[in-house]
Structure 1
Amino acid sequence: MRTILLNIFLITFHLTTSAQTFQWAKGIGGTWDQIVDDMVHDAAGNMYMVGHFYGTVDFDPGPNIYNLTAAGNMDIFITKLDVNGNFVWAHQIGSTYSYGHGKSITVNTYGDIVIIGEISGSGAVDFDPGPNTVNGNNFEGDVFIARYNSNGNFVFVKNFGENFSSSNYEYDIVFSEAYSLLGAAIYVTGKFSGTDDFDPSAATVNLSSNGNKDIFVCKFSYSGNLIWAKSMGGTQDDESTAMTTDASGNIYITGNFHGTVDFDPGPSTTFLTSYGNSDVFVIKLDASGNLVWARQLSGTSSERSKSIALDNAGAVYIGGEFSGTIDCDPSNATLHNLTTSLTSYNGFLTKLDASGNFVWAKNVGGQEIEGICITSTGEVCIGGSFSNTVDFDPGPNVLTATANSWSDIFMTKLDAAGNLAWTRQWASSGGGTGADYGKAMSIYNNDIYLAGTFEGSVDFDPNQGVSYLASAGGEDIFVLKMNETTTSVEKHRTKSLTLNVFPNPTPNNIHIQAQTNLKGVEIYNLEGQLIRSKRINNQTEIDLDLSDLPSGLYLLTLNDEKGQSYQQKIIKK
């Protein structure tokens, strides 16, 4: 084995790139677990998050302290941060013997927010964070919607249904400010079983499931009064997972279904039949709940959707996960198959036009795609989490990343055609069984915000800087901000670094020894394309497997803990 001793001095190179600039990361934590489930931005850039927590949590991510202590076994939280991530307010919902789950949150142009969640257990629950008491009673198995103004003051709470007691149910809620005689509306979707009354007033509007679990969608007025309720489902389990609306008040819902389902909630029928264990559906309803179109994505095994978004042209983006093979073209005439060799699930992203016709589909690597954001120029950002080793490049090139812990966080940006622009990974420094999850995304002025949970210590600056957050106990909450600028970048590095790199040339692997702690490594081909990226947690020695790379010359870039970057050519035989 031949060892090459390298001294790297002045390195200069130019490239024009879409550079992602890390702005900040904020942490919210306590001695127990805190889980964020959703995040939105208002017109002024303030962000609102909803989720649940145990024990005592400091909800001020800055130097001050704002503690809330769960009254019950698990309480719901709502918190507001300003555009710079500074604390504004936080509230909790819970009672002595309750379990609360905040599922989704939406905001209108005036900063009014509505959350949807569920509470199980006994005891009265006070939904008013002020001096007044507004108790919700007999909430066992019910879903509630609660509205607050931008200052966090209570407006109303409504509850409906009785068969929603499972904490793993998915619900989504959105405001629609499309003009109508009834003003702004609130849409809610989820799944239910049996017969339920969906009218929170003294009146009764019952829906009955056809099978085990069916899909529901409801429209409420701005005051929380039920306008209509619809259901869809077959004889097996069916669920909606995400929803959005357009400027005309049309509703777009995605989810998963088994067997044969009539997706027309009216008197007509539109049947879709799953081909695998479960298929993905996407439907469009008008503002009155009438079906406009229904589409499905089918595969050989199980396919699950997790998120949905619209761009300015009305195109629909669906993110999810699949195993085996999935046909992402909903038409019967053509196939557009994506395949994965992973034993676990792999992520997919599909784009349909405003009429539900196929545009493109990409195999995007991360298994849990929890959020999709579309920029004003049609670029697509996705975020979530992944395990094991995945390829984040949806094209013919390869950009693999390996999770440092049980689950790592990722954010990926694609151009308008679905080609990879960049991807970033965050992981706990301890590795092992630690779990880090991206749970929610939001966009404001083309800046991307990602929120989720982490354990241990994580450096949230994906570039050359350092921005560590350390959890106070179990799973803590993070929120980070990235912005995007297209610039001409010139790098100069004059500091020398002594490395042992061997063997070079190499048929398969290279081993790197450094005299400083390394933070990351990247490999570029001669066209300047990033083909490999790996996060390193302050190690001085690393091994890289290059066996899957074609023979040729590559540029190795190393980043150390002090923000210095170093480059060296390597040869793959």
Structure 2
Amino acid sequence: MGNTKSDKITCIKTDSLGYVYIAGYFSNNITLGTNNLPLNYTANASSKEAFVARLDSAGFCYWARSGGEYFDDRVLGMDVDAQGNTVITGTFWQTGTGFNMGTVNVTGGAFGGGDQCFVVKHDASGNPLWGNFVCSNSGDDQGLDICTDKAGNHYVCGFMSGTTLYCGGNTVTATNTNTGSHKHALWLAKMNSAGTFQWARTFGNLPWDPDANKYIERDIAVCVDDSGGVYVTGGFDGTHNFGTQSFTTYGGHDIFVIKYDTLGQFKWATQGGSDKDDWSNGICSDKRGNIYITGEHRDSLIMDTVLVKNYNKRDAFVFKIDKNTGKPIWGKRAGSNLGGERGNDIVADTLCDIYLTGDINDGGKFGDNITVPSGAMEQAFVAKISPEGKWRWVARWRIR
């Protein structure tokens, strides 16, 4: 799978039948099984194009689809519904030609010269169903994650640069109330199963890296529970509004979780942080409606009254959060002898056990009951945690 240039899988999902769905972007041509995906715009051979594909559990690729326009296009978020329909979101450079994926053309907004967000849906056979876009009135705008509820509605989140967010045109808009030089806001929008936007909300900000003199374009993540609650997590810096609440960071970048209902009404928001940089990378809900987040912290991390200490430098964390109040139920940590750990994503199974993926350096500890012996640098791990917060097992393998 792949070619001689840079290719990246950014998303992976499974359905109830055991099929596997992957999405990401590639340069030049890419081959997935017997499916060859050429660049749509060969005049710019250095550009990246988006792709999505369906495989069985043995790795056989049933179908693969690519899309793009003249410049870089990337899939950054994906979800799969109960019928096997896939919905993807990401970014494309709006030049007037639009983002093309099969028979779907996403023209984007009238504000050219920057990244815009696309959302494209395919059926279980890989046929494109519809596409839509989100943009603001200036600068770069990206879709970073997307999820689907039981009714087939889609919730997409990302960041915006301008003062007004336009979802599929002028029908649904939202306002960025941030001021100052570093004012990129985060947003959440709801679409129905046919791709029509229902509402949009803005909150928080995209953190700034003063050393690199640029915004930190890190993922934010979204999930829904079975009762219609919508949750977004990520990071922020400074003082910003989350619904009717205002948070100020403890020192560096802090983590947040915000909840809306299916009508877009704000329910609650919560904050966690330390005097250093912390980030939440993944979120999920279990069948009982509990919310879990994972990410990284560089010092002892406090969320409400729950304190998670760190072992060394950067560690991974997991918090379990009450869906009704936003208060943490427990928090757990994982760290190594050298530091450099983080939780990348998290998911719950039908028994409400939790599975966490991430990175670890050397050996270390997962909670107080599992010790991982010293090993190679730069390892990936998968860990299982009970609903009560007990680490069950850890598997790891070397990345490089």
The TM-score normalised by the length of structure 1 is 0.61
Residues 174 and 202 in structure 2, CA contact (< 8 A), matched pair in contact too: no
User: Which residue does 2:196 correspond to in 1?
Assistant: 225
CA shift digits 1:439-473 (9 cap, x unpaired): xxxxxxxxxxxxxxxxxxxxxxxxxxxxxxxxxxx
CA shift digits 1:276-306 (9 cap, x unpaired): 2111111211111112111111212111000
Equivalent residue of 1:275, what SS? coil
1:68 aligns with 2:43: no
1:108 aligns with 2:81: yes
Taking the TM superposition and a 5 Å limit, the aligned residue runs for 1:357-368 are 357-365=327-335, 367-368=341-342
Shift of residue 339, structure 1, vs aligned partner: 2.0
Shift of residue 122, structure 1, vs aligned partner: 4.0
Residues 191 and 197 in structure 2, CA contact (< 8 A), matched pair in contact too: yes
Residues 93 and 125 in structure 1, CA contact (< 8 A), matched pair in contact too: no
User: Which residue does 1:410 correspond to in 2?
Assistant: 381
Equivalent residue of 1:127, what SS? strand
User: Which residue does 2:242 correspond to in 1?
Assistant: 263
Taking the TM superposition and a 5 Å limit, the aligned residue runs for 1:178-327 are 178=151, 184-201=152-169, 203=171, 205-211=173-179, 212-233=183-204, 241-264=220-243, 269-327=244-302
Structure showing greater Rg: 1
Q: Partners in 2 of 1:235 and 1:135 — Cα distance?
A: 25
Residues 127 and 157 in structure 1, CA contact (< 8 A), matched pair in contact too: no
Q: Partners in 1 of 2:256 and 2:170 — Cα distance?
A: 34
Shift of residue 204, structure 1, vs aligned partner: 6.2
CA shift digits 1:215-240 (9 cap, x unpaired): 11111122211211111136976987
Residues 143 and 164 in structure 1, CA contact (< 8 A), matched pair in contact too: no
Q: Partners in 2 of 1:413 and 1:401 — Cα distance?
A: 20
Residues 203 and 233 (structure 1), Cα distance of their counterparts in 2 relative to 1, 3 Å cut: same
User: Which residue does 2:321 correspond to in 1?
Assistant: 352
Residues 272 and 301 in structure 2, CA contact (< 8 A), matched pair in contact too: yes
Q: Partners in 2 of 1:57 and 1:364 — Cα distance?
A: 37
Residues 154 and 297 (structure 1), Cα distance of their counterparts in 2 relative to 1, 3 Å cut: same
Question: In structure 2, what residue type is equivalent to 1:114?
Answer: V
Residues 320 and 354 (structure 1), Cα distance of their counterparts in 2 relative to 1, 3 Å cut: same
Residues 148 and 399 (structure 1), Cα distance of their counterparts in 2 relative to 1, 3 Å cut: same
Residues 206 and 235 in structure 2, CA contact (< 8 A), matched pair in contact too: no
Shift of residue 177, structure 1, vs aligned partner: 2.4
Equivalent residue of 1:190, what SS? strand
Residues 335 and 34 (structure 1), Cα distance of their counterparts in 2 relative to 1, 3 Å cut: same
Shift of residue 357, structure 1, vs aligned partner: 2.5
Shift of residue 105, structure 1, vs aligned partner: 0.9
Taking the TM superposition and a 5 Å limit, the aligned residue runs for 1:6-25 are none
Q: Partners in 1 of 2:5 and 2:366 — Cα distance?
A: 37
Q: Partners in 1 of 2:101 and 2:205 — Cα distance?
A: 39
User: Which residue does 2:393 correspond to in 1?
Assistant: 422
Q: Partners in 2 of 1:149 and 1:173 — Cα distance?
A: 16
Shift of residue 381, structure 1, vs aligned partner: 1.2
Residues 401 and 415 (structure 1), Cα distance of their counterparts in 2 relative to 1, 3 Å cut: farther
Shift of residue 403, structure 1, vs aligned partner: 3.4
CA shift digits 1:337-361 (9 cap, x unpaired): 312323xx21111112223232221
User: Which residue does 2:211 correspond to in 1?
Assistant: none
Residues 170 and 240 in structure 1, CA contact (< 8 A), matched pair in contact too: no
Shift of residue 115, structure 1, vs aligned partner: 0.8
1:46 aligns with 2:14: no
Sequence identity percentage: 25
Q: Partners in 1 of 2:206 and 2:170 — Cα distance?
A: 30
Taking the TM superposition and a 5 Å limit, the aligned residue runs for 1:450-461 are none
Equivalent residue of 1:224, what SS? coil
CA shift digits 1:315-365 (9 cap, x unpaired): 1111000102211x32xxx342312323xx211111122232322211123
The TM-score normalised by the length of structure 2 is 0.85
Taking the TM superposition and a 5 Å limit, the aligned residue runs for 1:20-35 are 28-35=1-8
Structure 1: gaps of 5 or more residues:
1-27, 179-183, 429-433, 435-573
Residues 124 and 357 (structure 1), Cα distance of their counterparts in 2 relative to 1, 3 Å cut: same
Q: Partners in 2 of 1:352 and 1:235 — Cα distance?
A: 23
CA shift digits 1:358-416 (9 cap, x unpaired): 22211123723222122222322111223x33414211553244434xx3221112233
Instruction: Please say which of residues 287-296 and 418-427 is displaced more in the overlay.
Output: 418-427
